[in-house]
Amino acid sequence: MFHSLFTASVSLVLGSVSTALVMLLLSPLLHADSSWQNYQQQATIFYQQGNYNDAETLLNQAIIRADKADNGLKFKASSLNLLAFVLMAKGDKKKALTSLDQALLLAEQLYAKDHPKLAMMLFNKGDFLEQSGQERQAITAYQSAWLIQSKNLKTHGDAALKTAQALTRLNNKLQYYKATIDVASTVETYQKENLASSFNEKIRQISYALAEAHMKRGQAILAQQALEQELSYEQKTLKMDDVRIAETLERLAVILDVQNKQAAAIHLRVQASKTREHQDKPSLINVMNLNELALDHQQKEQFDKAKPLYQKALTTLHQLGQDNSVEQALILGNLGSLEEDLGNKEEALKLYLQSVELHNKLQQSPQLASNIAARAAAIFYSKRQYKKAEPLFLQAFELLEVSSALKPELKVALENLVTLYDAWGKQVKKSKYLKKLRILNKVGS
């Protein structure tokens, strides 16, 4: 993610810092101080080798030499910039930011306000700030870089797209959705004019961020349009069995679901599933796609098609190391409901109880957990095993209470308890929940 800083006659590719590589290019000098250059080059080698302490020592010496050299500002800025990456690699984020700020101040003396090298340094500053947990300050730095780059995207090219990707991602995280839309719209215009025939992953991620921003603002149709445009772009620039097309299809299907366009969503999921059949690498979104396809078959009573999809989803979760996840709890519950539809109550109960146990550990989806607990309780109730049904019916009600559930859901949970205690002959307990039910019925009536 880090960009080249100074144009050079010699290019030094530095090692990885966090999620990216930085390329530092040394300026051509007619009167270069050879001792500075020796220190700088050796420090770069140490940095690449992960020998950060020696790299830091040599860079401090290089900075002293730069102060005495002809054209020393460029020398010093280069050393301070590299020192920032060394310090970041050592985990000394505060000192790294200080060093980068010093390099930036020198660069501002050397270059015009809209120079690409300043934009690159501002991007690096944004990345450092983000790694340091200073996300709002990071956005400010990214925005400063974008202000320079957005004036001429064709000139700044990939560097500008990196900044746009970082900005849209972080803006969404901090719920600055309008800012994401503004940046993405600028990129969209550039894409149509310059990138129509070649795939670019950064464009894809920016399109995803744009769709997310529209969804958060309640603009599902605009989100749909953003992903449809991205899908069209991918279908023109990628092979049809490329997994990235499948992912876009799956994201688009989710947006169609929100608009109650289930038939269209299922059609896209089928396409995505066929595309993923050729891929070796499973993904979590693939798991949820399989789950949605299985649900659709189950609702159509195509149980023979639904069951293997649920099972494949569970197997894929295991491959991903996502056992004991909220996704596993969801799919176990869905598979349990399928077994119940098939009349296999014992198998359904087993799956429901596994799901309930997982939900109890995770405590992430109370309303979903309530539904599964109630289903398990209902099977125990049908077998007149009231003592086993009671804790599950109680759990179902209590989970709805803490999750601000809607009145109809609470009403069903209370009616289940009243029915249980009536059949069991527990009149005191029945009265307790009957009273709650009457109070609930009066609310809003």
Provide the pLDDT confidence category of residue 33 given band limits of 50, 70 and 90. low
CA quadruple 262, 266, 267, 269: dihedral sign: positive
Start-end of CATH 1.25.40.10 domains in the chain: 283-363
Percent of the chain with pLDDT over 90: 71
Q: Tell which residue, 7, 3, 76, has the closest CA to residue 37.
A: 76
Backbone angles phi, psi at 322, to 5 degrees: -110, 30
pLDDT at residue number 445: 53
Q: Average pLDDT in the 368-388 region? A: 95
User: Where is pLDDT greater, at 346 or 188?
Assistant: 346
The helix/strand/coil state of 349 is helix
pLDDT at residue number 289: 86
pLDDT at residue number 167: 98
| Calpha distance 152→154 (Å, rounded) | 5
pLDDT at residue number 444: 53
Q: Domain 365-444 is in which class? A: mainly alpha
Kindly report which listed range (19-23, 76-80, 372-376) carries the lowest average pLDDT score. Answer: 19-23
Residues with Cβ within 8 Å of residue 260, at least 6 apart in sequence: none
Looking at every residue in the chain, the average pLDDT score rounds to 88
| Calpha distance 183→164 (Å, rounded) | 6
User: Where is pLDDT greater, at 359 or 285?
Assistant: 359
pLDDT at residue number 240: 86
Pick the CATH number of 283-363 from 1.25.40.10, 3.20.20.210, 3.90.550.10, 1.10.150.50: 1.25.40.10
CB 146 within 8 A of CB 183: yes
User: Where is pLDDT greater, at 22 or 105?
Assistant: 105
Look at the pTM and tell me if it is higher than 0.85.
no
Percent of the chain with pLDDT over 70: 91
